[in-house]
Structure 1
Amino acid sequence: MAAAGGWQPAGGRRRRRGRGEAVAAEEEGGAVLRRLREARDDLLSSGFWAASAGAVRAPLSGSVEPPVRCVCYGLGRFSGCPAARYQLAFLLLLLEELGVPPGRCSLFDPAFSGQEAAALGQLGLRLLPENEEGKHSVEGSATLFYMVHCGKALYNNLLWRNWSAGELSKMVIIGNSFRGIEERLLSRTLERDYSYIAKVLKGTEEVALPTHPRYLDTFNDTSVHWFPLQRLKELSPEVWDVVEEPTYQECDDLEIIRREDGAEQRRLVAAQS
């Protein structure tokens, strides 16, 4: 899968197309993968990946199980957006580092075009079939969630879906700094709209990715988060009593696309592809 010169497309059957359409699609897909390999080489040659590897491995030095699967949300239009392409290249390096097979990594972004979905398939990655709004259960398996620059509600929904010490202790989240979220929001807003983030803060370990002048906008405010079981057990028992699903009825700036908006979003993306 990951050869020394970069990632190679995974094998598999292709659906029949007209010759001209198939050639054009193959050329487009090849260009996307070539730019992705260039982003990979850039991350490696710049030293950013080497500097980030320590933060990536930090959870594994304690009691956190090595992840056996990965879920990625909110990657964006990586065929045309350099920042999204670097984030995808970083994810693929991350899977290699942690030994997670590409087939055990699932992605979702309502903005993905058909071409991008095909490119992810060529890389051996899987697409989630629907918009989960971040409500993905670890189901007892150690899971890495890769969520760079996602909306706060997505993290909050993910925590709610796995709201027990046992499940949270199996998660590693790479995404927006929880400390940064706490610093930027008024306490009453954090507790009202994103109560699960607020409640888990004292049970969270966090290590920031290093800053690099070339990737200031791509990985700014990004941290690795994990939830050691012993720290979670030290939280007040009342923390675990209320497990109401978040509704965000009073939230003025909801930063996620709701499931009911997904069909319209997919239609717009298809029209632009």
Structure 2
Amino acid sequence: MAAGCGWRASRGRRRRGRDKAEEDEGGTGTAAVLRGLREARDDLLSSGFWAASAGAVRAPLSGPAAPPSRCVCLGLGRFAACPIARCQLAFLLLLLEELRVPPAQCALFDPAFSARETAALEALGLRLLPENEEGKHGVGGSATLFYMVHCGKALYNNLLWSNWSPAALSKVVIIGNSFRGIEERLLSRILERDYSYIAKVLKGTEEVALPSHPRYLDTFNDTSVHWFPLDKLQQLSPDVWNFVEEPTYQDCEDLEIIRNQDRAAAQS
């Protein structure tokens, strides 16, 4: 693992004119955003939280499945202004180092990203997804880590639908809201009606919670690492895999997702 990988802006990506405009508009430029990320990284390391979390992160790698070669991050939020989102991004960058996933193999999307945040992500060598996929992102045969801390249930459900086969799901690792917690908090009929793919995959899921730490109670509360061993998925009933209807959430009263307007219009 290369020390400090991904934490310095590439000289070839300097955009002094753009940074100056952003300083005038938001009071801080890309350099200040990157500086804040380095401070968040140092805090994660000095607090011991990253070291304690590394065991949960390595858990999916202890089995026969291939380690993730790419990463998709959804719903990160405004990390330039929000300390919680900034810490979550710093954790992601440490995660990429730990798993030896090159920054160029990590794609992010959040409709809330500002121009300054987009510039910072590009400076780190990360990629941006071109559109709002609503979590409907297929692995395409590559083992993929999905980093989705504190995302809405529909995003997880959509992601599962997009990879709804034992072969594809066995290549998926999700760091996000605890599936067990979702099951405990929702009435069974609501879970099965609105988030049927989460409901159906529970028996094929392995889950390890990130450790609790007093400094990060709001940042990573209810966050787990999830993976789907092929042998457990193959034990599920064939009927589980035969139902592949795309989720629409027409009866869902509290949809925690920002819709792709083109897609939403087509479904209405």
Q: Which interval holds the TM-score relative to the shorter structure?
A: over 0.9
Moved over 3 A (4+): 1-6, 13-27
**Judging changes above 3 Å, is the alpha-carbon distance between structure 1 residues 256 and 167 closer, same or farther for their aligned structure 2 residues?**
same
Q: Which amino acid aligns with 2:213?
A: H
Counterpart position of 1:62: 63
SS at structure 2 position matched to 1:7: coil
- Tell me whether 1:120 sits opposite 2:121 in the alignment: yes
Match of residue 80 from structure 2: 79
Aligned to 1:161: 162
Match of 2:21 in 1: 21
The percent of aligned pairs where both chains have the same amino acid is 77
CA-to-aligned-CA distance 1:113-164 (integer Å, 9 cap, x gap): 0000000000000000000000000000000000000000000000000000
- Shift in Å at residue 22 of structure 1? 7.9
Residue 10 of structure 1: aligned partner = 10
Residue in structure 2 matched with residue 39 of structure 1 by the alignment:
40
Q: How does 1:1-273 map to 2 (within 5 A)?
A: 3-4=3-4, 7-13=7-13, 17=17, 21=21, 28-260=29-261
CA distance 1:5–1:34, change in 2 (3 Å): farther
Shift of 1:13: 4.6
Alpha-carbon deviation of 1:63?
1.9
Q: For 1:64-103, what per-residue CA distance to the aligned partner results, in whole angstroms no more than 9, with x for missing partners?
A: 2100000000000000000000000000000000000000
8 Å contact kept, 1:6–1:37: no
Structure 1 stretch displaced more, 12-21 or 156-165: 12-21
**Shift in Å, 1:200:** 0.2
Distance apart, 1:19 and its partner CA = 9.7
Question: Using the alignment, how far apart are the partners of 1:203 and 1:101 within structure 2?
Answer: 29
- C-alpha displacement at 1:12, in angstroms? 2.5
Q: Aligned letter for 2:36? A: R
Return 5+ residue gaps in structure 2 as ranges. 264-268
Q: 1:18 to 1:38 in 2, by over 3 A?
A: closer
When residues 39 and 165 of structure 1 are mapped into structure 2, their CA distance, relative to the original with a 3 A threshold, is same
Matched position secondary structure for 1:135: coil
* Structure 1 residues 236 and 24, CA gap change in structure 2 (3 angstroms): same
The alignment's TM-score, normalised by the length of structure 2, stands at 0.93
Q: Is the 8 A contact 1:6 1:40 kept in 2?
A: no
CA contact (8 A) 2:14 2:123 kept: no
For 1:52, what is the secondary structure of its paired residue?
Answer: helix
Q: Determine the C-alpha separation between the residues in 2 that align with 1:140 and 1:5.
A: 26
SS in 2 for 1:107: strand
Q: d(CA) in 1 for partners of 2:61 and 2:104?
A: 22
* Displacement after TM superposition at 1:28 (Å): 1.1
Distance 1:14 1:39, change over 3 A: closer
- Distance of aligned partners of 1:170 and 1:5 in 2 relative to their CA distance in 1, 3 Å threshold: closer
Instruction: State the AA in 2 paired with 1:33.
Output: L
**Alignment coverage as a number of residue pairs:** 262
SS in 2 for 1:91: helix
Per the TM alignment, residue 59 of structure 1 is displaced from its structure 2 partner at its CA by 0.3
User: 2: CA distance between counterparts of 1:232 and 1:5?
Assistant: 35
